[in-house]
Amino acid sequence: MSIPGFSGPNGFVELSLVVNVEIPAKSEWRFECPFKLIMKVKITDGVGEIFGTELPNDVEIRLTGCKYAIYAPLPTGCKLQYETAPNKEELNISNEEERISEYISDESPALQYTNLHFALDVMRQEAAADPAKKGPRVLVLGSSQSGKTALAKTLASYAVKMDRVPLFVNLDPKEGVFSVPGSLTATPISDSLDIESVNGWGGSTTSGATYHNPKQPLVKSYGFYDVSDNVDLYKYQVSQLGIAALSRALQDDQIRAGGVIVDTPTLSMKDVTVIENIVSDFEINVIVVTGSDRLAVDLRRKFAHKIAKETLDVVKLAKNSAVAEVEGFFTRKLQEDTIKEYFNGNYRTRLSPYKTDVDMTNYTIYKVVKLSEYASQMAFLPSGDSYTAEETESEEKKEENTLDKFLLRLDEPTSSNSKIPY
């Protein structure tokens, strides 16, 4: 894994021919760019946007390792051109096709996204006019690869266009939203997203100058890939993030009126306790379900008392047909690139993290354990003994030579009774 700025010159070599694309009105151009290639896209006429973020005209946008769609919202449509070049930092990837996959579709979900945005903005206008009211607090749920994150990004981008400041909350530990994968974040969005960054989010605050306005996330460490790996820890961190988010909304009128947009991993009615906790922790008043009729119906039954009191609405949207199939390799590569970009920056903003020498004898490293590992230990208990996760201390690792998967959380407990039993 190379570091930006240390792998030789970044100029383009072996450029392909320039390809011109014309997108009809209300249609979108869908494309997939492998990690092996760098794709330069430039809007030459009209308006084009990715996840609600408008692309500047006559400015080259550099993309790699992405599955995006450029939407043309105006009646005049949109014209663009693109060219590709080998990505010298990723030439060793063997299980990718070295070509761009692209096509134009007139079945865009943008219209229903826009209608939902305007309905939410009415709530924002009411909250801005009345300090006693709160803006929309939206929870996005749905099946796997149904367009949850695309919808959440679009709603956040449209809110920024209306001069709102929503609080974007990422509860999917697989994603690295203004942070590294394995974390849960809450971030005020006051400016456009950085489409060129990994996953199309942008960077957090650094000590140097940045090309885009950096975001300042509040980060809670979870450390696992799936919610089911340690549900108790996940609920605890979500609860702590919810407390901080509501506190920020009380102190900032812009965020109070702008509301909250919560993106989630794939959750079903089997995870109803997790959903209930999220609704309670963030005081959700709008649940949006994408691509799952059954889940929408079950949630309406589950929260019938809130719906009857008009404190909660459940809205169903059709599955986004633009969602491309994402394989495990693609997800893992995005996670690696997110970590690399977090510490070292990208081609526009170079970062130089410094090293710090510490005496490891003064520290104890704690690593939370999967619940499945607790279950396996239960099988070896003596007859009549019981085992609960609450009575089990965290696994200790002293003087370990390597850190597990890039990151571990370092804590220095004040006493033996201050350990959180997860």
| pLDDT greater than 50 at residue 396 | no
pLDDT at 400 (0 to 100):
46
Higher pLDDT, 291 or 116: 116
| Whether 78 contacts 23, CB under 8 Å | yes
| pLDDT greater than 80 at residue 178 | yes
Mean pLDDT of the 323-339 span: 82
pLDDT at 138 (0 to 100):
95
pLDDT at 362 (0 to 100):
86
Mean pLDDT of the 286-307 span: 91
Average pLDDT over the chain, rounded to an integer? 82
| pLDDT greater than 70 at residue 75 | yes
| pLDDT greater than 70 at residue 422 | no
Q: Residue 420's pLDDT band (boundaries 50, 70, 90)?
A: very low
| Whether 282 contacts 245, CB under 8 Å | yes
Reported pTM? 0.81
- Per-residue pLDDT reduced to its tens digit, 240-288: 999 999 999 888 899 999 999 999 998 888 989 999 999 999 999 999 9
Ordered DSSP codes for 261-304: EEE-----GGGHHHHHHHHHHTT--EEEEES-HHHHHHHHHHTH
Mean pLDDT of the 204-220 span: 74
Mean pLDDT of the 184-204 span: 87
Mean pLDDT of the 363-377 span: 69
CA–CA distance, 31 with 61 (Å, rounded to integer): 14
Beta bridge partners of 140: 263, 288
Q: Where in 9-164 does DSSP place strands (E)? A: 19-23, 28-33, 37-46, 49-50, 53-54, 61-63, 66-71, 78-86, 101-105, 137-142
CA–CA distance, 68 with 31 (Å, rounded to integer): 6
pLDDT at 12 (0 to 100):
43
- Per-residue pLDDT reduced to its tens digit, 144-176: 888 899 999 999 999 999 999 999 999 999 988
| pLDDT greater than 70 at residue 357 | yes
Domains in the chain and their CATH numbers? Answer: 1-107 (2.60.120.1030), 110-317 (3.40.50.300), 360-418 (no CATH)
Q: Tokens at residue 80, please?
A: 């663009």
- The residue length of the chain stands at 422
| Whether 135 contacts 124, CB under 8 Å | yes
pLDDT at 351 (0 to 100):
76
Number of helices (H) and strands (E) in the chain: give both, helices first: 9, 18
- Alpha-carbon dihedral of residues 257, 261, 262, 263, nearest 10 degrees? -170
pLDDT at 375 (0 to 100):
56
CA–CA distance, 55 with 48 (Å, rounded to integer): 6
- Per-residue pLDDT reduced to its tens digit, 118-154: 999 999 999 999 998 999 999 999 888 888 999 999 9
- Per-residue pLDDT reduced to its tens digit, 15-36: 678 899 999 999 999 999 888 8
CA–CA distance, 341 with 39 (Å, rounded to integer): 18
pLDDT at 206 (0 to 100):
66
| pLDDT greater than 80 at residue 108 | yes
pLDDT at 371 (0 to 100):
64
* The most confident of 12-21, 351-360, 394-403, by mean pLDDT: 351-360
